[in-house]
Amino acid sequence: MLKNDPHIGSPRNRVDGPAKVTGAATYAAEFAATDLGHGYIVESAIARGLIRSINVAAAEAAPGVIKVFTHENRPQTAWFTYKYRDQVGPPGSPFRPLYSEEIQYSGQPIALVVATSFDAARDAAALVIVEYAEKPHLTDLSIARKDAYKPPKKRLGIAPPPDPRGDAVKAFSEAPVSVSAEYAIAPEHHNPMEPHATTVIWEGDGKITVHDKTQGVQNSQAYVASVFGLSSDNVRVVAPYVGGGFGSGLRPQHQLFLAVMASLALERSVRVELTRQQMFGHVHRPETINAVALGADADGKLVSIQHHAVAATSQFEDHQENVVNWSGMLYHAPNVDLRYELAKLDIYSPGDMRAPGAPLGLFALESAMDELAIAAKIDPIELRLRNYTDHDENDGKVFTSKELRACYREGAERFGWNKRNARPCSMRDGRELIGWGMASGVWEAGMMKTAARGVFTADGRLELSCATSDIGTGTYTILSQIGAETLGLEMEQVTVKLADSTLPASPVQGGSWTAASAGSAVMAACQDLQAQLFKLARKIDGSPFADASDDDIAFVNGRILLRTNPAKSVLLAEALAASGEEKLEAEKSASPGLIGPMRYAAYTHSAVFAEVRIDAELGQIRVTRIVNAVAAGRILNPKTARSQIIGGVVWGIGMALHEETLTDHRLGRIMNHSLAEYHVPANADIYDIDVVFVEEHDDKASPIGVKGLGEIGIVGTAAAIANAIHHATGKRLRSLPITLDKLLAA
Amino acid sequence: MSQARPGSAEIPIQITINGERRCVELQPWTTLLDLLRHDLALTGTKKGCDHGQCGACTVLIDGRRINSCLQLAVMQDGKAITTIEGIGQGSHLHPLQQAFIERDAFQCGYCTPGQICSGIALIEEGNAVTRDEIRELMSGNICRCGAYPNIVDAIQDVLVQRSGVIREAAE
């Protein structure tokens, strides 16, 4: 046997599993320190205005209180706005905690109480007395949208809508079949299970170690260094375990600022943990309203696509996402008009949340396609196949790969789509109406420049390191697999270190790019180690490889061996020992390259099929079956990959039926800021989720053929469910979440 | 610093945690969760909401699953608490811990200790056999990563293993 059992492509258990099932995995608020100060945040009770006075005397006199920080006594931080920018923030002025008396949103942190215990800090926080000078506020997008504007400055990495193609309005008006409607999605909050927290360990001499809940330790490090004027050598940020991110940990959040500020000022270790209620005071998915108009010929071929979206943002930043561009690249159409606008509200800045933009825009597009299929009397899959495109019509680039046809075919087969009667209300089981719907999904297959280091030691072990995170995605595991496979080791012989700002450079973990990026960097480092080991093995006295080239050898079972004669081999540890060195080291970075992205467009695709059962009288909706067929290039670990898609689908079910941040616009204040009232799917809401990975070969999206899986699972799911609800009931619901009051009123 | 607030005198209790008898003195308002996480550094029990809405803090009190954030620590005088640290460690994992690993029943891992404590008690309660019953009776534990189908698989595996063991014992 020449090869090990392949690690890449095999289902492997998570290498961080034992730590997570025993409680040994340590999260940001769980790092211990002597004389730890506990910070508790006081938040503004109004949405807009000024702090007229803030009285902290009673709070400071409370037992255990060390200090109360407000805008009046805040230590000096950076003056210029740009110093508060981070790697992924949008254009605008980032929020600066305790900066001045100005209130920009309800729930804004206006004081930090630091005490010797969490209880004491929380107790004292209630004693802070604030007087406000209120100003009129606006938190209602349905009113603010009349002043919507095209963002004057684009956000880095987010393509603005392409220029219009043809004359979409004229083509629409002349189209024999057409649909036009508005589709809205409620604001949502990420609500990772671990509330945001930062523990700053005061190391002395101005040095701090920061345990932050973040998806990017180097992003947090750069932010802290910039804001507090510290040398980056004095700021180390670590986050080995992150209790869920989903985008909420991409940008530095205010607890990081407050914990570091207090630690530096008090010259002691400080922890700031947000409560679940306070988790509603920061980043969230923006409320978005889409207007979509589709025109087609009698055969269902699209002649016109118009998709205009308006999304909420804060007064101080222009958060932008790709909501509408999907409508110009998923199907072929000669006349296309896409627009994306923002409307300012007195809220905290929205931010990226699992597949930012895509499930919002695709809920609209894929609902409209379903409506078009009904209007044109064509099967929804057939309609999509008739409008299939082999290139990204927004920019003319060819896809690196696109097996969406296979997604439709394999997903439909697994689901039993051919048994569907197209007529709405055609299936019933007792008191339940049954509906089947489908939708397409698409997400970017990104790759970012990332570095990784591999160290091979005399005991035959490999240590891999990279600053990227594992927020639950399985990064530790897939990097172990890549290292083990490349050097022919067992998984147990590989250790992976992540999420420490001192490790080789990595961008934030987001955008589904980590597997492709960190994976390619690790592969490059391991290939360099292969070359070094081979060179050493050739130098050994009597080496079997004297005349061998790279192509003649393989790394198997801890050895280098000759492919033609596997009996001739050298132990890796032997090759290293002969060199007299204790270890070999390689640090390599992987980049997307310059030519590829100019010529090709890289996307993952999916076809989502949903079955709903709806109580005919009560309107209660259950999603009893989902099949999600995904084309995402090479699958490194089918076990963790399946989990990623299941998780995305659960999020799609939440978006379709449950999740909605409700604001009392009279107060400009979120009303349901708890997990009892902000509903996320519970176990009983989730039935069968079947994940299909269709075969897709891609040698251009990334060096290791990977396209990423973190986001694609959610995209399309809400639309498929809404389409199934229509099929079950004949009612078209165009506002998410589809709660039973909306269904019964329709 | 002023005088202590009224009613803040520390109260002594005896409590058994993971088999170890401990005497602790605490403030009357300290929750069992904060006692575990803050005072005893048993951070395997997680705080997700502090309001009994998410289940991340689930522990076993005399074998029953309970949200430790809703229990005042002083109420636990004389009781036996089992946290994830007492369920299984190192190479001695509880079958449900192993099943969670095999079934990939977690992603970020933050809800996992609570899910496992809850699942162990669920199995002991004997009320869940079908997937629907497991789903319903595990719905006090939220998993934001959405690992629910795998959690149900893991619990079902252990239920099947145990029913096999029970059958063998009966035969």
Residue type, A98: L
Q: Is the bond into A737 cis (omega within 30 degrees of 0)?
A: yes
Active site residue A711: yes
Give the pairing type, strands A207-212 and A235-238. Answer: parallel
Q: What is the pLDDT of residue A3?
A: 53
pLDDT tens figures, A507-531: 999 999 999 999 999 999 999 999 9
Q: How many helical (H) and strand (E) elements, i.e. helices and strands, does chain A have? A: 18, 32
pLDDT tens figures, A709-735: 999 999 999 999 999 999 999 999 999
Taking residue A142's Cβ as centre, other Cβ atoms within 10 Å add up to 11
A684/B136 CB distance under 8 A: yes
pLDDT tens figures, A335-351: 999 999 999 999 999 99
A32/B41 CB distance under 8 A: yes
pLDDT tens figures, A259-281: 999 999 999 999 999 999 999 99
The pLDDT of residue A143 is above 50: yes
Cα–Cα distance, A517 to A509 (Å, whole number): 10
Closest Cα in chain A, distance from residue B117 (Å): 10
B145/A472 CB distance under 8 A: yes
Of the partner residues A32, A64, A643, the one whose CB lies closest to the CB of residue B147 = A643
At residue A430 the predicted structure's pLDDT band, cuts being 50, 70 and 90, is very high
Closest Cα in chain A, distance from residue B104 (Å): 7
User: Mean pLDDT, chain A, as a whole number?
Assistant: 97
A194/B45 CB distance under 8 A: no
Is the interface score ipTM higher than 0.90? yes
Q: Rounded to the nearest 10 degrees, how much is the dihedral formed by the CA atoms of A170, A173, A176, A179? A: 120
Greatest alpha-carbon span in chain B:
70
pLDDT tens figures, A175-187: 999 999 999 999 9
In whole angstroms, how far apart are CA A392 and each of A326, A388, A439, A599, B102? 9, 11, 19, 11, 40
B 38-77 → A contacts, CB under 8 A: 38, 41-51, 53-54, 56
Instruction: Please state the rounded mean pLDDT for residues A411-437.
Output: 97
Suggest the residue from B70, B82, B87, B108 to mutate for an interface test with chain A (most A CBs closer than 10 A).
Answer: B108
Residues of chain B under the 70 pLDDT cut: 1-4, 166-171
Q: What is the pLDDT of residue A602?
A: 96
B109/A649 CB distance under 8 A: no
The pLDDT of residue A79 is above 90: no
Closest Cα in chain A, distance from residue B128 (Å): 13
Task: For tokens 């393509």, name the residue.
Answer: A159
Of the partner residues A471, A675, A686, the one whose CB lies closest to the CB of residue B149 = A686
Q: Does the CA dihedral A361-A366-A367-A372 come out positive or negative?
A: positive
Question: Which residues, in sequence order, are CB contacts of B114 under 8 Å at separation 6+?
Answer: B45, B46, B48, B54, B55, B56, B57, B58, B141
Closest Cα in chain A, distance from residue B32 (Å): 13
Instruction: Please state the rounded mean pLDDT for residues A374-380.
Output: 98
The structural domains of chain B, with segments of one domain joined by +, span 11-87, 95-170
Q: How many helical (H) and strand (E) elements, i.e. helices and strands, does chain B have? A: 6, 5
Q: What domains can you pick out in chain A, each with its CATH number?
A: 17-24+447-591 (3.30.365.10), 31-136+192-275 (3.90.1170.50), 146-188+284-446+598-745 (3.30.365.10)
Rama region for B18: left / alpha / beta (φ>0; ψ in -120 to 50; rest): left
CATH of B95-170, one of 1.10.150.120, 3.40.50.2300, 3.90.800.10, 1.50.10.20: 1.10.150.120
Instruction: Please state the rounded mean pLDDT for residues A371-378.
Output: 98
The pLDDT of residue A114 is above 90: yes
Q: What is the pLDDT of residue A125?
A: 98
The answer to whether A119 and B34 have CB atoms below 8 angstroms apart is yes
Question: Which residues, in sequence order, are CB contacts of A205 under 8 Å at separation 6+?
Answer: none
Query: Does B3 touch chain A if contact means CB atoms closer than 8 Å?
Result: yes
Reduced DSSP (H G I as helix, E B as strand, rest coil) percent helix, strand, coil of chain A, to 5: 30, 25, 45
In whole angstroms, how far apart are CA B128 and each of A231, B122, B134, B158? 57, 7, 5, 12
Cα–Cα distance, A272 to A255 (Å, whole number): 6
Q: At what angle do helices A717-729 and A358-376 cross, to 10 degrees?
A: 30
Q: What is the pLDDT of residue B1?
A: 43
The answer to whether A365 and A439 have CB atoms below 8 angstroms apart is no
The pLDDT of residue A2 is above 60: no
Q: Rounded to the nearest 10 degrees, how much is the dihedral formed by the CA atoms of A8, A12, A17, A18? A: -110
Cα–Cα distance, B47 to A12 (Å, whole number): 29
pLDDT tens figures, A381-401: 999 999 999 999 999 999 999
CATH no., domain B11-87 = 3.10.20.30
Q: What is the pLDDT of residue B90?
A: 86
Q: What is the pLDDT of residue A708?
A: 95
The answer to whether A468 and A238 have CB atoms below 8 angstroms apart is no
End-to-end Cα spacing for chain B? 69
Cα–Cα distance, A53 to B50 (Å, whole number): 31
Of the partner residues B4, B53, B87, the one whose CB lies closest to the CB of residue A63 = B4
